[in-house]
Amino acid sequence: MTLLGWVEQAGGSKPRVMRTHYGSPGAPDLVFEQEVPDPTALETQIKKVTETGDFQQWAKNVSELLEHSSKRELYAVARSGS
């Protein structure tokens, strides 16, 4: 299974993985994006995914390839009233 599959299995909606090939120094090597209804749903999905042994092994293998350690950013999409 892949990261996208684990997220979908945990109830995630519209997961996307974007790889940065020519990023600037300090830019992430790998970007994962997902739409969620609220932060609580996101935390529940993250817990479901990260508790699996397959994900833990995958994360260990991937982290050795990354130049920078991972970090989490949460953005709220604001829509105008028009």
With respect to residue 77, please indicate whether it lies within any of the assigned structural domains: no
Q: What is the pLDDT at residue 28? A: 58
In a domain, 38, yes or no: yes
pTM of the model: 0.69
Indicate the number of domains in the chain: 1
The confidence score (pLDDT) of residue 27 equals 62
User: Is there a contact between 20 and 39 (Cβ–Cβ < 8 Å)?
Assistant: no
Kindly list the distances between the CA atom of residue 56 and the CA atoms of 2, 14, 40, 49, 64, in Å, as whole numbers in the listed order: 12, 22, 22, 9, 13
Which pLDDT belongs to residue 61?
87
| The pLDDT value given to residue 22 | 56
Query: 82 lies in a domain?
Result: no
Residue 30 covered by a domain: yes
Domain that includes residue 12, residue range: 3-63
**What are 58-63's contacts with CB under 8 Å, separation 24+?**
58/3, 62/30
Position 28 in a domain:
yes
Judge whether 70 lies within some domain: no
| Grouped pLDDT means (10 residues each) for the chain, 82 residues | 86 79 62 85 92 92 76 77 61
Residue 82: the pLDDT is: 57
**Residue 33 located in a structural domain:** yes
